[in-house]
Amino acid sequence: MNTTTVVFLGIIAFCAVLQAIFFAGVAYASLKAASKLDALALKAQTDLARIGQKVEEAAAKVEALSLKARETMERTEPAVAAFSAKAERASDAVRRAVELPFVPVRNGSALLHGVMKAVEVYRDTRPARAR
């Protein structure tokens, strides 16, 4: 055999050994990475279950608060409507009192008369105090 052929065969054998070592290292690293990935997946699954429970609890609390707010709104809506109706009646009474033709406009007496009428209407529409 020629010496060049032996050298080339040696180089090919050396490269085959290096390639085998490289692929063995890649296989080992892949196994390690797979085990780490499995551990992370398990941890993520338990964390998601815990977070899911917290989200459900928060949603239940939000639902309860929403129901309370709705009940409160339903209870206060008639009172607000009554108050706004009284305020509108008082406003109409003041407007009519100011627009009366026989009220003198000089020196702001019309404004004073309107304010006095508003106070009178307010007193009439105010609920009686419990004694």
pLDDT at site 49 = 86
What's the CA gap between 29 and 19, in Å, rounded? 15
What's the CA gap between 31 and 57, in Å, rounded? 39
Q: For the whole prediction, is pTM greater than 0.95? A: no
pLDDT at site 85 = 86
| Tens-binned pLDDT, residue by residue, of the chain (131 aa) | 788 999 999 999 999 999 999 999 999 999 999 999 999 999 988 888 888 889 999 999 999 999 999 999 988 888 888 888 888 888 887 777 766 655 555 556 767 777 888 888 888 776 666 55
pLDDT at site 116 = 83
Structure tokens at 35: 């085990």
What's the CA gap between 110 and 100, in Å, rounded? 9
CA distances from 3 to 11, 14, 15 (A): 12, 16, 18
pLDDT at site 66 = 94
pLDDT at site 52 = 87
pLDDT at site 129 = 61
